[in-house]
Amino acid sequence: MPDQGPDVGPSPYGDGMHHPTPAYAVPFTIDRSLAPRRYDLVNIGDEPVDGLTLTHLGNGYCPPLAVRRLEPGRGLSIAVFGADPADTGVVVVRWRRPDRSEYLWRMSLVGDGRAA
Protein backbone atom coordinates (compact mmCIF):
# COMPACT_ATOMS: atom_id res chain seq x y z
CA MET A 1 0.00 0.00 0.00
CA PRO A 2 1.48 3.42 -0.92
CA ASP A 3 2.44 5.85 1.81
CA GLN A 4 -0.56 8.01 2.64
CA GLY A 5 1.47 10.69 4.42
CA PRO A 6 1.23 11.61 8.09
CA ASP A 7 -1.76 10.58 10.13
CA VAL A 8 -3.78 13.73 10.73
CA GLY A 9 -6.41 12.20 12.97
CA PRO A 10 -10.04 11.27 12.49
CA SER A 11 -12.20 13.14 10.06
CA PRO A 12 -14.51 15.85 11.45
CA TYR A 13 -16.95 14.74 8.75
CA GLY A 14 -17.75 11.44 10.48
CA ASP A 15 -16.91 9.43 7.37
CA GLY A 16 -14.08 7.39 8.93
CA MET A 17 -11.59 8.94 6.50
CA HIS A 18 -8.52 11.00 7.32
CA HIS A 19 -8.44 14.47 5.76
CA PRO A 20 -5.28 16.58 5.67
CA THR A 21 -5.28 20.13 6.95
CA PRO A 22 -5.70 22.53 4.01
CA ALA A 23 -2.51 24.25 2.89
CA TYR A 24 -1.93 27.87 3.88
CA ALA A 25 -2.52 30.01 0.80
CA VAL A 26 -0.06 32.77 -0.07
CA PRO A 27 -1.91 35.90 1.14
CA PHE A 28 -0.72 38.21 -1.64
CA THR A 29 -1.69 39.31 -5.11
CA ILE A 30 0.44 41.34 -7.49
CA ASP A 31 -0.85 44.27 -9.55
CA ARG A 32 1.38 44.43 -12.63
CA SER A 33 -0.52 47.23 -14.42
CA LEU A 34 2.50 49.58 -14.10
CA ALA A 35 5.11 46.91 -14.92
CA PRO A 36 7.98 46.64 -15.65
CA ARG A 37 8.92 49.57 -13.42
CA ARG A 38 6.42 49.19 -10.57
CA TYR A 39 4.59 46.26 -9.00
CA ASP A 40 2.05 46.52 -6.18
CA LEU A 41 1.95 43.70 -3.61
CA VAL A 42 -1.41 43.55 -1.76
CA ASN A 43 -2.27 41.49 1.34
CA ILE A 44 -5.50 39.74 0.32
CA GLY A 45 -5.39 37.44 3.35
CA ASP A 46 -7.61 37.69 6.43
CA GLU A 47 -4.75 38.30 8.87
CA PRO A 48 -1.84 40.75 9.10
CA VAL A 49 1.64 39.65 8.09
CA ASP A 50 4.64 40.69 10.17
CA GLY A 51 8.33 41.15 9.39
CA LEU A 52 7.69 41.41 5.66
CA THR A 53 10.87 41.63 3.56
CA LEU A 54 11.31 41.66 -0.21
CA THR A 55 14.58 40.84 -1.94
CA HIS A 56 15.01 41.20 -5.71
CA LEU A 57 17.02 38.64 -7.71
CA GLY A 58 17.68 39.42 -11.35
CA ASN A 59 18.64 42.17 -13.74
CA GLY A 60 18.09 45.80 -12.88
CA TYR A 61 17.92 47.26 -9.41
CA CYS A 62 15.15 46.98 -6.84
CA PRO A 63 15.85 48.52 -3.44
CA PRO A 64 15.49 46.00 -0.58
CA LEU A 65 12.27 46.55 1.31
CA ALA A 66 11.27 45.71 4.89
CA VAL A 67 7.92 46.45 6.52
CA ARG A 68 7.08 45.72 10.15
CA ARG A 69 3.41 44.83 9.49
CA LEU A 70 1.08 44.74 6.51
CA GLU A 71 -2.59 44.63 7.41
CA PRO A 72 -5.22 42.85 5.28
CA GLY A 73 -6.23 44.98 2.31
CA ARG A 74 -3.06 47.09 2.47
CA GLY A 75 -0.34 47.06 -0.13
CA LEU A 76 3.11 48.32 -0.96
CA SER A 77 4.96 49.14 -4.17
CA ILE A 78 8.06 47.48 -5.55
CA ALA A 79 10.17 49.54 -7.98
CA VAL A 80 12.57 47.93 -10.47
CA PHE A 81 15.04 50.15 -12.33
CA GLY A 82 17.13 49.46 -15.43
CA ALA A 83 15.76 46.07 -16.44
CA ASP A 84 14.31 44.91 -19.73
CA PRO A 85 10.54 44.26 -19.31
CA ALA A 86 10.97 40.56 -20.09
CA ASP A 87 13.98 40.14 -17.80
CA THR A 88 13.11 41.75 -14.45
CA GLY A 89 13.70 38.61 -12.37
CA VAL A 90 12.03 37.45 -9.19
CA VAL A 91 11.36 38.82 -5.72
CA VAL A 92 11.69 36.63 -2.64
CA VAL A 93 8.96 37.61 -0.18
CA ARG A 94 9.45 36.62 3.47
CA TRP A 95 6.87 37.11 6.25
CA ARG A 96 5.56 35.77 9.53
CA ARG A 97 1.99 34.93 10.43
CA PRO A 98 0.56 36.03 13.80
CA ASP A 99 1.55 32.61 15.25
CA ARG A 100 5.19 33.55 14.34
CA SER A 101 5.55 30.82 11.69
CA GLU A 102 7.76 31.99 8.82
CA TYR A 103 6.98 31.75 5.11
CA LEU A 104 8.92 32.40 1.90
CA TRP A 105 7.44 32.96 -1.54
CA ARG A 106 9.45 33.26 -4.73
CA MET A 107 7.44 35.63 -6.91
CA SER A 108 8.09 36.12 -10.61
CA LEU A 109 7.81 39.70 -11.79
CA VAL A 110 6.56 38.45 -15.17
CA GLY A 111 3.14 36.82 -15.04
CA ASP A 112 -0.55 37.36 -14.35
CA GLY A 113 -0.49 38.45 -10.69
CA ARG A 114 -1.97 35.41 -8.97
CA ALA A 115 -0.17 33.80 -6.07
CA ALA A 116 1.24 30.44 -7.08
Domain count, the chain: 1
In a domain, 48, yes or no: yes
In a domain, 43, yes or no: yes
In a domain, 17, yes or no: no
In a domain, 1, yes or no: no
Q: Tell me the residue type at 38.
A: R
pLDDT higher than 60, residue 115: no
Confidence of residue 17 (pLDDT cuts 50, 70, 90): confident
User: Which structural domain range is residue 80 located in?
Assistant: 28-108
In a domain, 12, yes or no: no
Q: 111 in the Ramachandran plot: left (φ > 0), alpha (ψ -120 to 50) or beta?
A: left
Domain with residue 91: its CATH number is 2.60.40
pLDDT digits (tens, 9 = 90+) for 46-96: 999 999 999 999 888 888 899 999 999 999 999 988 877 777 788 999 999
Mean pLDDT of the chain: 84
In a domain, 114, yes or no: no
Cα end-to-end distance, the chain, whole Å? 31
User: Could you tell me which residues are beta bridge partners of residue 49?
Assistant: 70
Q: What share of the chain is helix, strand, coil (3-state, %, to 5)?
A: 0, 40, 60
pTM for this entry: 0.74
In a domain, 63, yes or no: yes
In a domain, 2, yes or no: no
